[in-house]
Amino acid sequence: MARLTPASPAASRARAVVRRLTAAYPDAVISLRYGAPWELLVSVILSAQCTDARVNEVTPRLFARFPTPEAVLGGTQAELEELVRPTGFYRNKARSIRGAAEHLLEHHDGQVPRTTRELTRVPGAGRKTAAVVLGEAFGIAEGIAVDTHCGRLSRRLGLTAETDPVRAERDLMVVVAQRHWIAWTHLLIAHGRAVCRSRVPRCNSCVLLDICPEGRARTAVKRH
């Protein structure tokens, strides 16, 4: 793949992607439901290997019982596990939530920190979690949250060749303008769910077809 720079063809393609997908999905926002930053942090931890819809079913009861890090430490691990069980991997997730609560109380007076460096030290939180929490809770764009949709579409659009989310994020931070970093994830998730599906992308009805290397290859193959 050609070297990526803010002036490369990939960067101008990324600008077109933002323009067209913003027009196609003007209401694209995060689908996790939360109130305080702590709730968002917990929701993102729970969303690993789980749909946002399932997380949203679980969190009202969870947040009513454990509205703060202090409340988590005042409860039992078993109770926490039971509440998050429907999201899968519940033992690990409950352990991460408890670890996060301890970490926030020990290092941040129980508050969610506002930098990637600090957030990625919270148990259960990697760069994706940090990007989502900073972007959504505080409006801070320090990175791009690369989930499965965002990674797949970015590769199909020729904006990265990386399958590792952290490496893909590094490429995207070069070609996507920083003012679009927060929206980028939501736009690609919306398009990934509606059109650019994992197994059978609907290239012929895609607003990005003329600028998408993967789409052009797929439709050219079909024409022959």
Catalytic residues, which ones? 128, 147
By C-beta, is 42 or 146 nearer to ligand SF4? 146
Check: CB of residue 34 under 8 Å from CB of residue 40.
yes
CA dist., res. 177 & res. 159, Å (int): 13
- CB 223 to ligand SF4: min, Å: 14
CB of 24 to ligand SF4, least distance (A): 11
Count the Cβ atoms, other than its own, within 10 Å of residue 92: 15
Among 156, 162, 181, 189, binds ligand SF4 (CB under 6 A): 156
134 vs 153, beta carbon nearer ligand SF4: 153
Could you tell me the smallest distance in angstroms from the CB atom of residue 150 to ligand SF4? Answer: 12
Residues 62-81 that bind ligand SF4 (CB under 6 A): none
d(CA 112, CA 22): 30
By CB under 6 A, name the one of 49, 201, 220, 224 that touches ligand SF4.
201
- Residue from 136, 209, 221, 223 touching ligand SF4 (CB under 6 A): that is 209
The Cα–Cα gap between 102 and 107 comes to: 8
Q: Is 172 in the site for ligand SF4 (CB under 6 A)?
A: no
**Residue 68 tokens, joined:** 């703060």
Q: Which residues contact 168 (CB under 8 A, 6 or more apart)?
A: 146, 150, 151, 154, 155, 160, 162
Structure tokens at 6: 């803010």
Please give the structure tokens belonging to residue 187.
């736009």
- By CB under 6 A, what part of segment 180-199 binds ligand SF4? 195-196
* Under rule CB under 6 A, residue 202 binds ligand SF4: yes
Pull the structure tokens for residue 199.
């197994």
- Distance of closest approach, residue 17 Cβ to ligand SF4, in angstroms: 8
Q: In the complex with ligand SF4, which residue's Cβ is closer, 32 or 208? A: 208
Residues 125 and 100: their CA atoms lie apart, in Å, by: 8
Evaluated on CA atoms 199, 202, 207, 211, the torsion sign reads positive
CB of 205 to ligand SF4, least distance (A): 8
Determine the interface stretch with ligand SF4 among 6-14, 57-65, 96-104, 200-208 (rule: CB under 6 A): 200-208
Angle at 55 between CA 61 and CA 110, to 5 degrees: 65
Residue 28 as a binder of ligand SF4 (CB under 6 A): the answer is: no
Residues at the interface with ligand SF4 (CB under 6 A): 153, 156-157, 195-196, 201-203, 206, 208-209, 212, 214-215
